[in-house]
Chains A and B, each alone.
Chain A
C-alpha cells in the first residue's frame, strides 16, 4: 500500500515557499491532513510510526490503520464510482452485513469448515448475492429513473432485516483457518486484507484510467443528457457501477466477518455508508458527480481510520468520534461549496482568490481539537 508513503513525500514540504504547484495538486490537502494527523499521533505516542517484525509479520500502529481501514477503503472505492455518476449508494452497510452473514452461515453449516472448497463456495455465494443487490439498485436507478438516494434506501432499510434473517438473529461464529485468512491473515509479512484492498484499488484505477471507462462514468455524472446525445449508454454504465459498489461492499463484509471470525447481522458495517461517503468527499470527489479521484478516496478513508485510531489512543470514549466526523463533514463541504468560497473571497478581497487558507483550517482546527 503506497498512499501513506506518498503522504510523507507530499505533505512535509508544504511550508516550503514556492510550493504553489504542489498545493494546487488535488491530492495535496487530503495528504497534508493525513500527514498532520500522523504527526499529531507521533507527538502523543512517540513510537507511533515504528513498525517492527514479529513472528515474520509486520506489526505497528501504521499496519493496524491499514488493516482496519481496508474494508472502509473498499466500500469507499465502490462509493466513489457511484458518486461520480451523480448517485449515492446507501445500501452498502446492509450489503456488508448480508455478505458476512451469508459466508459465515455457509461455513458454519458446512461439513468441513476448514476446507478451501467450503470457503470458496461461501465467498462465491456472498459475492453473487451482492451482485444481485447491485443489479437491483442499478435497475431502479438506471431503468426506472428512481433517485439513487431513494432506490438504495429501500435495501438500507430491508437489508439489515435480511442479514438478521440469514443469521437467525444470532451472532454466528466460525472457526475456519482458510476464511480467517481474508481479514486476519498475513501474506508476505503484510496483512492479507491490505494486499487485497490494494489489489482491488489498483485494478479499479487501471480499468477506469487506462481505458475510457472512467471518462464515460464522469461524462454520465457530469451531464447525463449530453452523454446520451453523444451516444453513451448510460443505463449499462450505471448498473455496472452499482454492481461494482455492492461487490466491493461484499468483499469488505467478508473481511470484517473474517477478522472477528463471526457474523453480526445487526452491527456489521453499521454506518459504514456514511464513513464511505465522508471518505469520498474528503478525497475531493464532489457529491454533484462528474469527476472522481480514487487516490483521494483512499487517502480519505485512511484519514477517517487514523482519526478513529487517534481517538482510541487519546482515551476519549470512541463514540465521540462522531462529533469529529461531523465537524470534518461540515468543514469539507463548506470548502467545496462555491457559495462559501465566494463569501470568503469577498470578505478578504485584497488577498485575491486563494483556495489555500480554507482547507488549511481543516488541519488547524482539528489539531486544536485533539489535545
Chain B
C-alpha cells in the first residue's frame, strides 16, 4: 500500500520540481490572458490585435533594455545604470545629430559604442575589484545622468529629416495592422538573446555563473570575461533602447527614462527570472514587458484611473512575484 503511494508521490514530486522554475512564467502567461480578456469584456475597442501591437510599439525600447537586464540578473548581478544610460543615448544622439550635424549613420554606432564601453567598464570594475554590482552600477547611474545634464539641461528636439522619416515609418502587417521599426528591432534582439542564452557556450556560462560562481570558477569557466561581457551586453542594450526611445520621442532629454531600471527589473522578475541568478527565461522577460504595457493600456482605457496607478500595480505585481520566487526558490534549495 505504502509502496503504491510512494510510486504515485514520486512522479508528482518530480513534476513540481521540474516545473517549479517555469511556474512563475505560467502565472505570467495566465495573467496576460486574463488581463486581455477582462480588458476586452470591459472596454469597447480593446479586443483587437492592434491594441496588443500598440503595447509593443509603446514599449519596444523597454523590451530591449529588459533583455540586457535579464542577462545581468541571470548572472546574479543587477544593473541600476540602464535608465540613465537610455537617457544618455537619447541625449548623445540628439546632440550629435542636431547640434553637431553628424549623419545618423555615424551617430548610431558611436552611441552604441559608448553604451557597450560603459557597460564593459562597469563589469571590469565589478570583477577586478570585487565591488558589489549594485554600487558600481549606482555610480554608473549617477555618472550617465550627470553627463546628460553636462550636454544640456534642456530638451533637444530632433528635426533631422532622416531621423524623422525613420520615426514615422510603419511596418505594415497583413490585415491592416502595423508596427514601428523599433518593434522589429526589439524582436530581432529578443531572438538573438534567446539563441545566445540557450544555444551557445557563453549562454551556459551565464547561467552557471548565476547558479554558483565559485563552482563555475572551479569548473574552469571564464568567470571574469563573462561578467564583463554581460555588463557590456546590458550597456549595449540600454544604448540601443535609448536609440529606439529617441525615434519614439524625437528628442533627447536628461529626464527621459527616469526609473526605467526598475521597470526593466520588474519585467525580468515578472517574466520568471530569479533575482538570485541562475534561472530564468528571456522570453519570459518579453511576457513581463507585455504585462507592464498592458497595465498601462488598461488604465488608459479605464480613463478614470490616473497614471500613478501604473506604479502601484507594478509594485504589487513585483511583490507577488517576489513571494512566488521565494516559495519556489525555497523548494529548489530544499531539493
List the interface of chain A (C-beta within 8 A of B): 88, 140, 144-147, 149-151, 153-162, 164-165, 169, 265, 274, 277, 281, 287-288, 317, 319-327, 329-330, 333-334, 336-340
| B316 within 8 A of partner (CB) | yes
Q: How far is the CA of A288 from the CA of B306 in the complex (A)?
A: 40
Q: How far is the CA of A339 from the CA of B129 in the complex (A)?
A: 5
Q: How far is the CB of B117 from chain A (nearest CB, A)?
A: 16
Contacts of B140 in A (CB 8 A): 326
Contacts of B275 in A (CB 8 A): 147, 150
Look across to chain A and name the residue whose beta carbon is closest to the beta carbon of B143. A326
Contacts of B322 in A (CB 8 A): 140, 146, 150-151, 154
Secondary structure type dominating chain B contacts:
helix
| B128 within 8 A of partner (CB) | yes
A-B contacts besides A155-B315, A322-B149, A334-B129, 16 pairs, CB < 8 Å:
A146-B323, A154-B315, A156-B262, A157-B311, A159-B315, A165-B312, A169-B306, A265-B308, A274-B138, A319-B145, A319-B149, A322-B142, A324-B146, A326-B140, A337-B130, A339-B128
Q: How far is the CA of A97 from the CA of B102 in the complex (A)?
A: 42
CB atoms of A326 and B142 under 8 A apart: yes
What are the interface flags for B105-129 relative to A under an 8 Å C-beta threshold, 1 for contact and 0 otherwise? 0000000000000000000010011
The one of B138, B149, B266 in contact with A320, judged by C-beta atoms closer than 8 angstroms, is: B149
CB atoms of B146 and A158 under 8 A apart: no
The one of A146, A150, A317, A323 in contact with B142, judged by C-beta atoms closer than 8 angstroms, is: A323
A158 with B153: in contact, given A146-B322, A153-B265, A326-B142 (CB under 8 Å)? no
Look across to chain A and name the residue whose beta carbon is closest to the beta carbon of B130. A339
Q: How far is the CA of A281 from the CA of B138 in the complex (A)?
A: 13
What total of A-B pairs shows CB separation below 8 Å?
126
CB atoms of A161 and B150 under 8 A apart: no
Look across to chain A and name the residue whose beta carbon is closest to the beta carbon of B306. A169
Q: How far is the CB of B219 from chain A (nearest CB, A)?
A: 22
Q: How far is the CA of A330 from the CA of B141 in the complex (A)?
A: 12
Look across to chain B and name the residue whose beta carbon is closest to the beta carbon of A329. B139
- Sorted from nearest, which 10 A-B pairs have the closest CB atoms? A158-B315, A161-B311, A323-B146, A322-B146, A326-B142, A319-B149, A326-B143, A164-B308, A161-B312, A329-B139
Q: How far is the CB of A346 from chain B (nearest CB, A)?
A: 13
Q: How far is the CA of A277 from the CA of B139 in the complex (A)?
A: 11
| B134 within 8 A of partner (CB) | yes
Q: How far is the CB of A336 from chain B (nearest CB, A)?
A: 8
A320 with B150: in contact, given A147-B276, A153-B262, A154-B315 (CB under 8 Å)? yes
Q: How far is the CA of A265 from the CA of B306 in the complex (A)?
A: 14
CB atoms of B135 and A281 under 8 A apart: yes
